[in-house]
């Protein structure tokens, strides 16, 4: 039986990957997670519930309480398992939090990724290595694209970006946040192990990855946290850009389906902008309206006339390269379906609280 190793296995993407590979593809699943999200974000970021769900529901799932910064621990685990697939979804994920914890951020995102890459090179260099990167590797360079202001959103005025941001877009000479910089280091290292050592690696530069299993908090998890605020009647803070800033949202299942497609037919040193594309994009104002229509509750919010450092005004992914390389893959969960699932999940959580 094939084995997959998933880091960040209790998180949104990691848990979806564990479930899909176990149930749909028959893999034995080993998950690595130490609930560091709670350390970064407090009790609301706790993912133990998801770990326990995986242990309860997935036959053959093994949890490893391991910090990816533990170099020897990572080397030993990968050597012992020699997995056929590695999905690296563990990270310090917050754009804003990184400035307060720069050593933890870099050691986790850059150092942890290097530990895993080298462990894979030594033990299983033929195994596909899929790294969850981020669109923050582009820094704030997307803000240099001419924009059009519409009633509820910003959009690209340059027709060259009608499909969104392509993988060829510059990552240089822009402000990234420390989080973006640490993820750039990891992203480039994953590419380099692919090219230098001819290993099957890819970086998935995610937009807003979301879904009903997301433990959304203010500093990470835009759509999940927004819906949570609506359901619980708590104020949501909008930071700048009149609430018209745009993000593309992709359901964790569609992320996982692409991971499975790459694992089945890998390439070396590849990069893909993995988001919902223009069709699954929305502004904060549009997300408010969509959520309000589903819950029947007005969104309470406050406005701070100061954007987050390095924040994108408008970002959605150009999916054409992904579709060309993997024509069997496409978005299957619409934005409205995704929001509906998140609403149901948070309403269910409130009902059982």
- The band of 97, judged by pLDDT with boundaries at 50, 70 and 90, is confident
What pLDDT, on a 0 to 100 scale, did the predictor assign at position 294? Answer: 98
- The band of 40, judged by pLDDT with boundaries at 50, 70 and 90, is confident
The model's pLDDT over 164-183, given as tens digits with 9 standing for 90+, comes to 999 999 999 999 999 999 99
- The band of 94, judged by pLDDT with boundaries at 50, 70 and 90, is confident
Cβ atoms of 274 and 203 closer than 8 Å: no
Listed range (37-41, 275-279, 339-343) with the worst mean pLDDT: 37-41
Nearest 5°: the CA angle 233, 280, 110 is 85
Separation of alpha carbons 87 and 8, rounded Å: 9
Separation of alpha carbons 250 and 320, rounded Å: 15
The model's pLDDT over 199-251, given as tens digits with 9 standing for 90+, comes to 999 999 998 999 998 877 776 778 999 999 999 999 999 999 999 999 999 99
We report the CATH number of the domain holding residue 236 as 3.40.50.720
Separation of alpha carbons 260 and 266, rounded Å: 10
Q: Under DSSP, is residue 279 helix (H, G, I), strand (E, B) or coil?
A: helix
Taking CA atoms, 28 is separated from 6, 131, 155, 221, in Å, by 11, 20, 44, 29
Mean pLDDT, rounded, of the chain: 95
What is the Rg, in whole angstroms, of the alpha carbon atoms belonging to the chain? 19
CA 301 to chain centre: 25
Total tally of structural domains belonging to the chain: 1
CA dihedral 198, 6, 19, 208 (to 10 degrees): -80
**Count of helices and strands (H, E) across the chain:** 12, 14
List the domain range (segments joined by +) for residue 118: 3-351
- The band of 148, judged by pLDDT with boundaries at 50, 70 and 90, is very high
The model's pLDDT over 310-349, given as tens digits with 9 standing for 90+, comes to 789 999 999 999 999 999 999 999 999 999 999 999 999 7
Structure tokens at 333: 């969960």
The residue among 120, 126, 134, 113 whose CA lies nearest residue 189 is 113
Instruction: List, in sequence order, every residue forming a beta bridge with 156; answer none if it has no partner.
Output: 147
Given a cut of 60, whether residue 353 has pLDDT beyond it is no
Separation of alpha carbons 28 and 23, rounded Å: 10
């Amino acid at each position: 039986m094939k084995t997959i190793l998933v880091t960040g296995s209790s998180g949104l993407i990691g848990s979806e990957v564990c479930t899909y590979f176990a149930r749909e593809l028959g893999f034995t699943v080993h998950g690595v997670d130490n609930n560091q999200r709670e350390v970064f974000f407090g009790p609301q970021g706790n993912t133990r519930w998801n770990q326990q769900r995986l242990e309860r529901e997935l036959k053959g799932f093994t949890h490893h309480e391991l910090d990816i910064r533990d170099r020897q621990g990572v080397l030993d685990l990968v050597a012992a398992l020699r997995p056929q697939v590695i999905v690296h979804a563990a990270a310090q994920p917050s754009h804003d939090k990184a400035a307060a914890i720069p050593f933890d951020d870099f050691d986790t995102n850059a150092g942890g990724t290097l530990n895993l890459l080298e462990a894979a090179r030594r033990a299983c260099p033929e195994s596909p290595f899929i790294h969850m990167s981020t669109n923050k590797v582009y820094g704030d360079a997307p803000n240099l694209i001419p924009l059009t202001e519409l009633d509820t959103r910003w959009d690209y005025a340059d027709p060259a970006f009608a499909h969104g941001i392509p993988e060829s877009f510059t990552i240089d000479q822009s402000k990234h946040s420390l989080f973006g910089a640490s993820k750039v280091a990891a992203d480039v290292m994953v590419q380099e192990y692919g090219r230098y050592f001819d290993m099957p690696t890819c970086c998935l530069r995610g937009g807003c990855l979301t879904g009903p299993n997301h433990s959304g908090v203010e500093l990470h998890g835009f759509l999940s946290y927004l819906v949570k605020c609506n359901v619980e009647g708590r104020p949501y803070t909008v930071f700048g850009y009149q609430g018209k800033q745009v993000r593309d949202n992709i359901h964790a299942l569609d992320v996982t389906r692409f991971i499975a497609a790459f694992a089945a037919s890998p390439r070396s040193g590849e990069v893909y902008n993995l988001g919902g594309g223009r069709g699954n994009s929305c502004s904060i104002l549009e997300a408010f309206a969509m959520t309000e229509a589903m819950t029947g509750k007005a969104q309470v919010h406050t406005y701070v006339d100061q954007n987050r450092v390095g924040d994108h005004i408008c970002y959605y992914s150009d999916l054409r390269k992904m579709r060309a390389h993997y024509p069997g893959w496409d978005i299957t969960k619409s934005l409205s379906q995704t929001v509906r699932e998140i609403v149901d999940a948070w309403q269910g959580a409130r009902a059982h609280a």
